[in-house]
A and B are shown apart, each in its own frame.
Chain A
Amino acid sequence: MSANTICIIDDDKIYQSLTKKILLKLVPDIQILQFLDGSDALEYFKECLASKENLPSVVLLDINMPYMDGWDFLSNLETISIDFTKVNIHVVSSSIALQDMEKAKSNAHIISYITKPVKPEILKNIMEYVV
Chain B
Amino acid sequence: MSFLCFLVLVIIGFIIIRQEHIIAEENEKLEMQKMLNVVERNIEQILQNSYVTTLSLSQAVDNNGQVHDFESIAKQLLNKNKNIDVVQLVPDGVIKYIYPLEGNEAALGLNLFTTAHTKHEAEQTIERNDIYFAGPLELVQGGRAVVGRLPIYKNDKFWGFSAVIVSFKNILENSGLSNFNINGYSVQLSKINPVTQKVDYFLDGPTNLENSIKETIKLSQGNWQLHLVKEKKYTILKSLYPTIILWAIFCVGSTILLYYLIKHPSELQKVIINQDQLISKNEIELQAIFDNAALGIAVVDIEKRIFIKANHQLCKMLECKLDYLEHNKVHNFVQDKDDQHFENLLLKLKKGDLNKFSATKKLISKNNTIVWVNIAVSPMWHKGEKPTSYISVIEDITEKRRSSDLLKESESRFKSLFDDSTVPLTEEDFSEVKKELEKAQITHLPSTKIYRYLKAHPDLIAQCVCKTNIIAANKEMVGLFEATCKLELIEHFKKLATTKGPHFLIKLLVTICKGEVSFSGETEIETLKGNKKEVLIKWYVVPGFEKSYKRVFVSTEDITERKNVVRELKKSHNTLIERNKRLLDFSYIISHNLRSHTSNIQTIITNLEYVESQEEQNELLDLLKNVSNSLDETIHNLNEITSIRTNVNITTELLDVHEYTEKTISVLKSKIQKEGAIVINKIKPETRILYNPAYLESILLNLISNALKYKHQDRTPEITIYTETFNGNLRLTVQDNGIGIDLKKHGDKIFGMYKTFTKRPDSKGIGLYITKNQIEVMGGHIEVQSEVNVGSIFKVFFNEC
User: How long is the Cα–Cα vector from A51 to B452 in the complex, in angstroms?
Assistant: 65
Least CB separation from B600: chain A residue: A14
Least CB separation from A118: chain B residue: B603
Which among B596, B603, B754 is the interface contact of A66 at CB below 8 angstroms? B754
User: How long is the Cα–Cα vector from A37 to B755 in the complex, in angstroms?
Assistant: 12
Q: Check: B678 CB closer than 8 A to any chain A CB.
A: no
How far does the Cβ of A123 sit from chain B's closest Cβ, in whole Å? 11
B-to-A contact residues, CB < 8 Å: 588, 591-593, 595-596, 599-600, 602-604, 606-607, 623, 626-627, 630, 745, 754-759, 763, 765
B602 near A94 (CB under 8 angstroms)? no
A14 near B591 (CB under 8 angstroms)? no
B591 near A117 (CB under 8 angstroms)? no
With contacts A66-B756, A117-B599, A117-B600 taken as known, whether A97 is within 8 angstroms of B591 at the C-beta atoms is yes
List 7 A-B pairs, Cβ < 8 Å: A12-B596, A12-B600, A14-B627, A18-B603, A18-B604, A95-B591, A97-B588
Name 6 extra pairs, CB < 8 A, besides A94-B593, A96-B591, A116-B599.
A15-B599, A22-B603, A64-B754, A93-B592, A97-B592, A116-B595
B599 near A64 (CB under 8 angstroms)? no
How far does the Cβ of B633 sit from chain A's closest Cβ, in whole Å? 13
User: How long is the Cα–Cα vector from A13 to B603 in the complex, in angstroms?
Assistant: 13
Query: Chain A residues near B765 (CB, 8 Å)?
Result: 66
Query: Chain B residues near A64 (CB, 8 Å)?
Result: 592, 754
Size bin of chain A's contact surface = 20 to 34
Which among A21, A40, A95, A115 is the interface contact of B607 at CB below 8 angstroms? A21
Query: Chain B residues near A17 (CB, 8 Å)?
Result: 623
User: How long is the Cα–Cα vector from A72 to B747 in the complex, in angstroms?
Assistant: 13
Which among A18, A22, A94, A96 is the interface contact of B623 at CB below 8 angstroms? A18
Query: Chain B residues near A67 (CB, 8 Å)?
Result: 756-759
Q: Which of A101-131 contact B (CB under 8 A)?
A: 115-118, 120
B595 near A15 (CB under 8 angstroms)? no
Query: Chain A residues near B756 (CB, 8 Å)?
Result: 66-67
User: How long is the Cα–Cα vector from A12 to B601 in the complex, in angstroms?
Assistant: 12
Q: Check: A39 CB closer than 8 A to any chain B CB.
A: yes
Query: Chain A residues near B588 (CB, 8 Å)?
Result: 95, 97
Q: Which of A12-53 contact B (CB under 8 A)?
A: 12-15, 17-19, 21-22, 37, 39-40
User: How long is the Cα–Cα vector from A102 to B213 in the complex, in angstroms?
Assistant: 162
Query: Chain B residues near A39 (CB, 8 Å)?
Result: 759
User: How long is the Cα–Cα vector from A22 to B756 in the complex, in angstroms?
Assistant: 30
Q: Which 4 A-B pairs have the closest CB atoms?
A: A116-B599, A94-B596, A117-B599, A66-B756
A14 near B626 (CB under 8 angstroms)? yes
Query: Chain A residues near B745 (CB, 8 Å)?
Result: 72
A15 near B607 (CB under 8 angstroms)? no
B603 near A94 (CB under 8 angstroms)? no
With a 10 A CB-CB cut-off, give which of A40, A93, A116 has the most chain B CB atoms: A116
Query: Chain A residues near B623 (CB, 8 Å)?
Result: 14, 17-18
Least CB separation from B766: chain A residue: A66
How far does the Cβ of B306 sit from chain A's closest Cβ, in whole Å? 99
User: How long is the Cα–Cα vector from A125 to B786 in the complex, in angstroms?
Assistant: 47
With contacts A94-B595, A116-B596 taken as known, whether A66 is within 8 angstroms of B607 at the C-beta atoms is no
B592 near A37 (CB under 8 angstroms)? no
